[in-house]
């Protein structure tokens, strides 16, 4: 039986709206009636502050999850890399859409690739994961914070504030900006964030009708990879923005997981890799190996200067 109306809560950014509209279209094909409800989150309002100071990436979910619990919406559409491993009581992730290309992309003002950027070039990213891995390749770069939605970041590059910026390829593709990428960064150079490229659906745990309605959207191989990456993240205790990358792939019915934990300046990168048929056990195993080699010290938050 079709649900009368599914109310999808979404942020108002172009990328969030694209993702919500994509899910809306797929649900409508299945015979459901769907409406979009735009919700402004803490992360959207406080764009001039570092994420870790306003609640981390969870700042982009807080108000949407509150709306779910208040029953003013029925379904939330998220970029999985923004979703903490611990969800509010009463909520659950119910579907993972087929993963888009998980790699990062370099966009430079003069069409230069990473190795071609001039000495001391200014590179924009707020991600400690990207910062660490790029500095490991090019320790001469000046890495500066870059927040805002995709269009805002592209505009700042065009305005000459940065020599280059790094964005998720999946987001560029969804907004038809792929042609602006100067270089697609191989996962051997920059390992993606856990869940990067995956759209995840969240709803109330007791909403069995909605769980059944979205079940056809769940992509089994993507779900297995997402479980492995998030199990690793949970085991490591990684917060919103830490120098940690993880990428899982299905190989001959087994899940292969690669992960890194790094020093923020790129001077030390711990790498782990394994494969297993059980994705949750795999994530825990790789995390355990990294912890045994000192990963916890690299993931500890830096001491904040409250006067800054």
Active site residues: 82
For every residue of the chain, which 3-state class applies, written as one string?
Answer: CCCCCEEEEECCCHHHHHHHHHHHHHHHHCCCCEEEEECCCHHHHCCCCCHHHCCHHHHHCHHHHHHHHCCCCCEEEEEHHHCCCCCCCCEEEEEECCCCCCCEEEEECCCCCHHHCCCCCEEECCCHHHHHHHHHHCCCCEEECCCCCHHHHHHHHHCCCCCEEEEEHHHHHHCCCHHHCCEEECCCCCCCCCCCCCEEEEEECCCHHHHHHHHHHCCHHHHHHHHHHHHHHHHHCCCCCCCEEEEEEEECCEEEEEEEEECCCCCCEEEEEEEECCHHHHHHHHHHHHHHCCHHHHHCCCCCCCCC
Pairing of strands 254-262, 269-276: antiparallel
Instruction: Measure the CA–CA gap between 58 and 141, rounded to whole angstroms.
Output: 29
The phi, psi pair for 238, rounded to 5°, reads -65, 135
**Spatial CB neighbours of 179, under 8 Å, sequence gap ≥ 6:** none
Cα 84 from chain centre: 10
């Amino acid at each position: 039986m079709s649900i009368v109306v599914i109310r999808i809560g979404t942020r108002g950014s172009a990328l969030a709206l694209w993702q919500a509209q994509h899910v809306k279209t797929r649900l409508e094909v299945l015979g459901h009636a769907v409406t979009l409800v735009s919700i402004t989150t803490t992360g959207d309002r406080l764009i001039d502050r570092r994420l870790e100071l306003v609640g981390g990436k969870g700042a982009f979910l807080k108000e949407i999850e509150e709306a779910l619990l208040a029953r003013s919406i029925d379904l939330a559409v998220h970029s999985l890399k923004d979703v903490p491993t611990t969800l509010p009581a009463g909520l659950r992730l119910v579907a993972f859409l087929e993963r888009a290309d998980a790699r990062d992309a370099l966009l430079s003002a003069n069409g230069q690739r990473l190795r071609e950027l001039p000495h001391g070039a200014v590179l924009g990213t707020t991600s400690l994961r990207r910062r660490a891995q790029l500095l490991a390749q090019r320790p001469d770069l000046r890495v500066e914070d870059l927040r805002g939605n995709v269009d805002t970041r592209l505009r700042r590059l065009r305005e000459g504030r940065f020599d280059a910026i790094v964005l998720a390829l999946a987001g560029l593709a969804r907004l038809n900006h792929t042609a602006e990428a100067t270089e697609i960064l191989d996962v051997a150079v920059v390992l993606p964030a856990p869940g990067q490229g995956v759209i995840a659906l969240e709803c109330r745990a007791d909403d069995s009708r909605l769980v059944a309605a979205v079940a056809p959207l769940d992509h089994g191989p993507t779900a297995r990879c997402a479980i492995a990456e998030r199990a690793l993240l949970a085991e490591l205790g990684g917060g919103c923005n830490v120098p940690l990358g993880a990428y899982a792939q299905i190989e001959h019915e087994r899940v292969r997981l690669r992960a890194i934990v790094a020093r923020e300046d790129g001077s030390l990168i711990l790498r782990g890799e394994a494969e297993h048929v059980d994705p949750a056990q795999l994530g825990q195993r790789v995390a355990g190996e990294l912890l045994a080699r000192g990963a916890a010290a690299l993931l500890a938050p830096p001491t904040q200067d409250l006067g800054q």
